[in-house]
Amino acid sequence: MGKELEELIEEAAEIIVGAKKVVVFTGAGVSTESGIPDFRSPGGLWTKYNPDDFTYQKFLKDPEVRKRSWQMFSMFRMMDLVQPNPAHYAVAELDKMGKLDCVITQNVDGLHQKAGVPEEKVIELHGTIKFVKCLGCRKRYSIEEIAKRLEEGGEEPVCDDCGGILKSATISFGEPMPIKETAEAERRSRECDLCLVLGSSLVVYPAAYMPIYAKESGAKLVIINVGTTSMDNYAHVRINEKVGEVMPKIVERVKSRLAS
């Protein structure tokens, strides 16, 4: 018979209290609790569209693919209305307590920063939806500016400065991972003494290597996720529950232990 939830919460809190460098690794399961759809789940975007039709290479070569991509972009224009959930605020509390080294996230929504985690402590492995970038001169545009152009009837916005192709600052299928962020995430993962995996099934690589690097380097591993993950057998604590329901309870235990 497995351990009771309360016992697992206690164990996770104890590990966090004893840790000096906590790296939090977050996936789509954290964002979905704020109402953002998970692209890969049943009913998600990739059940309605074929992701192979939207690779980085096709985006570069085919104007029709770019137009369809900008049509899909409309779902991201509401991101400013999306608010952090208890999971995001619990991670921000870890930072206030001096426990958080950094957040390594697969999410592109900027909700960790919105919840109060300092920008410099968030490593966005899959980019951000907050900006649009020119693939020619690298000029950046706000999401609001490009959304306005699309609303005014533009099918495919181009760069004002060089006429180059514009693309959201997220990482597409087939697009190289950001070199600086990926290297920094690996370094932080190898140097932490606790990796806290929240809302990720750890199936998307190379992002999912980060908890492996942490474990290889001797860090403890705590996983909170609904459903199985590829690292379950290596976790010191494994909680099969929603992150937003469990993390606030863990953080409260940590707070009370640090205060006593």
Residues annotated catalytic, as ranges: 126
35: left (phi over 0), alpha (psi -120 to 50) or beta: left
- Beta strand pairing call for 122-124 and 100-105: parallel
Using alpha carbons only, give the angle 190, 85, 127 rounded to the nearest 5 degrees: 50
Kindly give the residue spans of alpha helices, DSSP state H, lying in the chain.
5-18, 28-31, 45-48, 56-61, 63-72, 86-96, 111-115, 143-151, 179-191, 209-216, 243-259
Q: Amino acid identity, residue 121?
A: K
**CA 48 vs CA 3, 6, 41, 45, 130: distances in Å:** 39, 39, 11, 5, 24
User: For residue 71, how many other CB atoms are within 10 A of its CB?
Assistant: 11
Long-range contacts of 65-71 (CB under 8 A, 24+ apart): 66/156, 66/165, 67/155, 67/156, 69/167, 70/150, 70/154, 70/155, 70/156, 70/157
Neighbours of 70 (CB within 10 A): 21
